[in-house]
């Protein structure tokens, strides 16, 4: 008898096919969890990139407004 952990534990009344299906379902469930985890990591990286981009835009606006202000001040 094959031993397994998690939801795919083999019961004495399970046939090989039934147990195989349970193992496949458990494998797919775990693969989905791994995919979700990978997506969460990518989303965190994307969020960090978005925040960095926002910071750069804010810095650029501040710098550009200072430059414009200086030009206006100089031209008067």
The DSSP H or E segment spanning 34 is: helix 16-75
Paired tokens of 37: 């985890």
Q: Which residue has the tokens 């100089």?
A: 74
Per-residue pLDDT of the chain (76 residues; tens, 9 = 90+): 444 455 556 677 777 778 788 888 889 899 998 998 898 989 999 999 988 888 888 888 887 777 655 555 554 4
Tokens 């939801």: give the residue.
7
How far apart are the C-alpha atoms of 45 and 37, rounded to whole Å? 13
Q: What is the pTM (predicted TM-score) of this model?
A: 0.46
Specify whether the CB–CB gap between 19 and 2 falls below 8 A.
Answer: yes
């Amino acid at each position: 008898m094959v031993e397994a952990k998690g939801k795919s534990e083999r019961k004495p009344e399970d046939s090989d096919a039934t147990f195989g299906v349970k193992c496949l379902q458990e494998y797919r469930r775990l693969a989905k969890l791994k995919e979700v985890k990978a997506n969460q990591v990518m989303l965190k990286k994307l969020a960090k990139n978005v925040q960095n981009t926002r910071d750069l835009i804010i810095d650029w606006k501040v710098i550009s407004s200072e430059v414009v202000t200086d030009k206006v001040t100089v031209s008067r």
